[in-house]
Amino acid sequence: MTTRTERGAATDRAPMWKFFVYSAVGVLMFFVPVTLGGRSTIPLDHVVSWLREAVPAVLPWYALALILAGAVQPWVTGSWRRSTTDLVFSVARVVGLVVGVMLVLGIGPAWLFADGMGPFLLNSLVIPVGLLVPIGAIFLALLTGYGLMEFIGVLARPVMRPVFRTPGRSAIDAVASFVGSYSLALLITNRVYLEGKYSRREAMVVATGFSTVSATFMIVVANALDLMQHWSLYFWSTLLITFLVTAVTVRIPPLGRMPDATAPGVEARPERDVEGSRLAAAWGEARHTVAADPGIGRVVGSTFVDGVKMAMAILPSILSIGLLGLVLAEYTPLFDWLGYLFYPITWALQIPEPLLVAKAAALGVSEMFLPAALVAGSAMSVKYVVGVVCVSQVIFFSAMVPSLVGTQIPVSIPRLLLIWFERVCLSLVIAIPVGLLLF
């Protein structure tokens, strides 16, 4: 049996070069934009883009293989029996497999192959996410396994705990989503939750409060809305508004009333109180993590397997739930009706074209790009507000919700919809005055 003295000695002998080297590689891959071929983005995105260009003919079949495995998995393991939500999403995966087969083989109704429908889901979401999550998981091991989360967690706790009611280590999640991807941020969140370092409530706060689209996706939105000339203003104000909305939603139902229970069968590992120097405490937490390192092979292998499993869960759901949202948006008046939920806010705050802004806000729940297309010809204040809200809403069913369902974090669709409604209302209340003031 290992004594406390022996554990302390092991911590003192921890090879801290791993903290610096491995963490630096993780930070570089996720957070440092690099310009290659005239395109500036994080190295991980460059890797994915290179693969898409190198073997484009193989990737649809690769994605289909992951979709097949993901559609079969809940029926083989019996996980479909756990709850009604699990059953619904297990059926959705099978539907996603059918859609995936039709798209890859080029068979099916003409509407499925229309612009903005099946090909959009396959080429703009399924294939990139299918590459990004497993490859990102490899580098994620370096970011989360060698003390950086613990080090940042101790330093960021005075901000994260009182403002967002989450551990300091959630600061890494917040940055990862904005700079990297919601799918990678959710992969981090799921892993930390399964390690007992997040409670269920904290994991849901992080997932629904920070795991929004990345800066790369925001550039696409800004281009569509002619906001690139105001890029810095748009980016930083959107980040601030997103986090302000999160600071409110964590204090009201349903997030405010969720229990602080850990994952089933997992022992809670809360952050410890700091005594004395915060920097020294942060360094001590990092040393302890490095000392417990089981080896780079095991760490990377474990996160890679998690990434593949998560991709298997996400991809078929994107093709079923995402397609349903796009069909409802294109062929039914559902989002016109939902827009009236937000019309009192847009009318009262006197934004130009209040009904159009309200409809765009409602439309974002299906796919976050759709609102931008709806208001592309509107006034600049309208485009700014919609550009902010489609990011700060966080929750959308074409990709974010399937990604969240692909984790082991318990998910309730009615609760997600309520959180989405709250976030859209709060985002409009904050963004409209800012947009009218700036434009």
Residue with structure tokens 């849901």?
A: 204
By residue count, the chain amounts to 439
- The C-alpha atoms of residue 345 and residue 351 are separated, in whole angstroms, by 9
Tell me the per-residue pLDDT of 367-416, one tens digit each, with 9 for 90 and over: 777 788 788 889 999 999 999 999 999 998 877 887 788 788 988 889 99
Largest Cα–Cα distance in the chain?
70
pTM here? 0.76
In whole angstroms, how far apart are CA 342 and each of 358, 389, 425? 5, 12, 7
Q: What are phi and psi of 62, to 5 degrees?
A: -60, -45
Tell me the per-residue pLDDT of 40-71, one tens digit each, with 9 for 90 and over: 777 887 888 888 889 989 999 999 999 999 99
Per cent of the chain over pLDDT 70 is 94
Amino acid at 216: T
Q: Which two tokens stand for residue 103?
A: 């798209």
Tell me the per-residue pLDDT of 134-165, one tens digit each, with 9 for 90 and over: 888 888 788 878 888 788 878 888 888 899 99
CB atoms within 10 A of CB 380: 16
Q: Which two tokens stand for residue 381?
A: 């204040």
Q: What is the DSSP letter of 280?
A: H
Q: Which two tokens stand for residue 338?
A: 């939902």
CB atoms within 10 A of CB 278: 14
The answer, yes or no, to whether the previous bond of 254 is cis (omega within 30 of 0) is yes
Residue with structure tokens 């099946």?
A: 118
The two counts, helices (H) then strands (E), for the chain are 22, 2
- Structural contact between residues 177 and 189, judged by C-beta atoms closer than 8 angstroms: no
Position 293 scores a pLDDT of 85
- The C-alpha atoms of residue 113 and residue 99 are separated, in whole angstroms, by 11
Q: Which two tokens stand for residue 252?
A: 């009201």
Angle at 338 between CA 337 and CA 344, to 5 degrees: 100
Report residues of the chain scoring pLDDT below 70: 1-12, 176-181, 214-217, 220
- The C-alpha atoms of residue 433 and residue 427 are separated, in whole angstroms, by 10
Q: Which two tokens stand for residue 206?
A: 């992080």
- The C-alpha atoms of residue 361 and residue 174 are separated, in whole angstroms, by 23
- The C-alpha atoms of residue 324 and residue 118 are separated, in whole angstroms, by 11
- The C-alpha atoms of residue 284 and residue 219 are separated, in whole angstroms, by 39
* Cα 235 from chain centroid (whole Å): 17
Position 1 scores a pLDDT of 47
CB atoms within 10 A of CB 377: 9
Position 270 scores a pLDDT of 84
